[in-house]
Structure 1
């Protein structure tokens, strides 16, 4: 336990309360409000505590809040992951361990995927569960809407089949596999209580010697971009950069296939994008 920073805690609670509208937490707007945001009694009600106790916290003179109180305040104030951790730290507590990766797709990312009509892209969580994808991505990952959600794991698809030696001998493909496993190990460390990640690792250690070999290397780190060369059955030879963009607020990854400007691959992506739009 660290030191309780009362003044910082009080300021943080006031600013987080002021930014919320009643409708965001399921409360009626009611009569005209003199100040923006929620009232103190509304936060206390949402957090399940007395109004007097909450007022003392905002005035910097309350008792040391328990972890249960802090968790209730984080829920009441709709705090994000980083805000929740900050609340615990300034209250003199260690932030709680996250139970598992976020699998909720933010609306903004869904809109972004749909707007990328000439670039294959898809969204995965920290355990590489496929969460969302655009139309062009189906040319590479298939129509995942027809696949049960529990079978949409990118790493299981990569290692859950016999991998040809030519794949393992390709420097870029080997780098792609190594960095993917290293990223999974990082998630394994961040979410020790998540049963899905533990089950995935246990399964692949028992079924994929190559995964077991890479896992034994204990490399830890986020994915880096790699160059992929694909001999597509319909589009022919393709070459593009597989760019992985980390989404900090959800700990998800947006994976984008980026072709060289003016390249045959870009032209192929553009043709498919036009065909897809015409078929809508």
Structure 2
């Protein structure tokens, strides 16, 4: 169990980093990657031993896929523990018909106020995470109110979503938690997501985003090809919150950043709420 950050947020520019903070911030991507490989290797090894195949055994890409499948859930769990004081108040504001995009291993579902949820639609295309998600929904007592949909946001998936009841003007809350960083061509989906909301419906947002500071953003850009390879297409340098705000059609936009973050952070966050006009 890790010590969570305080829940304090603000809308001012991030404060300047000290030398020690600069060094630590530049180690964070390395430490997260090490966490992925340490967490994922045992399960990957067990899989290789249970399904012996000489080609797969020497194929580094197959190892990488297995390590991601077995380790990414642990990375998400650590993130949830670190940021619980920021994530929980947002998630407890979810109400009505709720769509969680990229629900992952289900780390968010225990933070919902079940009494406010009429129906929870969990969108998760990745099968290893989906198994964990189903178990979490059962553990927190939301299984009867939930539907897990094995699909993404791509155009080909939208008829499947509509068939499940995810259609224009049908949602009270959309949850975007650490998902816009990894979906292909995210800007192409933002208007669609907004269209799913009822008037007055909300998007609640917790995303890591591109830094507003030149040196940190350059470092993010240099890191991104390696990060994308290891973390299932995730990119460090996306302006996700800015893109979402810029589509217009909102009557209220309140997006802030954690008070503890500095100008050197390579995984800074945008956290908040956008309400449809």
TM over 0.5: no
Higher radius of gyration, 1 or 2: 1
The one of the two structures with greater contact order (alpha-carbon pairs below 8 A, sep at least 6) is 2
More strand by share: 2
